[in-house]
Amino acid sequence: MDFAALKAAGIRLLSIDEHIHVVQGLGRGRSPFSNAILVLDKRTALIDTGCGLSIIEKLLELVRLDLVLNTHSHPDHTGGNWLVRERSGARIVVPKEGLDSIGSTDKLGVRMMGSHLGEIWTRDYLPITGYRDFTPDGVYGDGAEFDLGAIKLVAVHTPGHLRDHYCFFEPASGTMIGGDIDLSPFGPWYGNAESNIGDFRASVARIQDMPVTTYISGHARPVREPYLGRRLQAYLAVFDERRSDILNLIPRDAWITLEELVYASPIYHWDYKSHIDWFLCNGETHMIGKHLYDLVNRGEVVQSTDGLAYRRT
């Protein structure tokens, strides 16, 4: 591979080893884009295509792709799939849990944002990511193995962020490609209706139990041992920090509504009253709601009979 040509084309690569390379996405790989993982072996694979259409175009001019794997259905990880389909013969293989909607603008909008906001989301957000409809060539599930030559990638189902979220583990080198279990300072994101805190915690625990020495996420720089264990613990701790922040906003002697809690913005720290951002607001509503559900089940918070307000016990 002519890495000088890739660099000359403006593609920023961070090489993990001779086979695995991180392609930095637009905006330094921050949402609405992500980093992609290029695996160069007997077969060439690209894990996620949300790095930006301009980068995908350059890659396709310089690299012959055999396979595209998506870690999950969010369009900041699938935005370039249609372009790969149009300009290469690479197979696009997606998680089986997301097959019903991952390639459809309309179905994805409803799944991610609901029927009303979904229409706005597909109009205003999807074009930023570059996403267009595409047809997958196949699906994979937990434990599926992709033999690229020296590199063998094993699919690890890690739901919580989304129901169809996966990581990919390379046993020989101990490398984990972690998608949106991104170990970012913001912490876990679980702002879709199908997101689940319990599943997310269990997925991080599954990673902790595996012999991972190098961790590559979709939005942050790679982490290697001996720092990885501490980063995973810090990432998990954000769940408890947010839970505590939300609990502290709930009074003992009065009712507070979910809307009031959202406008207090304990997660995003956004001033919704001055500038409403419906996409952030929707995500924060789901995340706070999931913590409230947990707090009610634990008996730490009481829900009103109409289900619209909460107070401390």
Q: Tell me if 282 sits within 8 A of 117, measured CB to CB.
A: yes
**DSSP assignment of 11-27, as one string?**
--EEESSSSEEEEPPGG
Going along 90-188, which residue ranges are E strands? 91-95, 138-140, 145-147, 152-157, 166-170, 175-177
End-to-end CA distance of the chain: 63
Please give the model's pTM, rounded to 2 decimal places: 0.96
Provide the residue-wise pLDDT of the chain in tens; the chain has 313 residues. 677 888 888 899 999 999 999 999 999 999 999 999 999 999 999 999 999 999 999 999 999 999 999 999 999 999 999 999 999 999 999 999 999 999 999 999 999 999 989 999 999 999 999 999 999 999 999 999 999 999 999 999 999 999 999 999 999 999 999 999 999 999 999 999 999 999 999 999 999 999 999 999 999 999 999 999 999 999 999 999 999 999 999 999 999 999 999 999 999 999 999 999 999 999 999 999 999 999 999 999 999 988 889 999 9
Locate tokens 């789901």: which residue? 286
Q: Is 274 exposed, middle or buried (0-12, 13-18, 19+ CB in 10 A)?
A: exposed
In CATH, the architecture of 3-237 is 4-Layer Sandwich (3.60)
Residue boundaries of the structural domains of the chain: 3-237, 250-312
The enclosing H or E element of 39 equals strand 36-39
CB atoms within 10 A of CB 88: 18
Residues 6+ away with beta carbon under 8 Å from 131:
75, 78, 79, 81, 82, 105
Nearest to 35 by CA among 20, 187, 43: 20
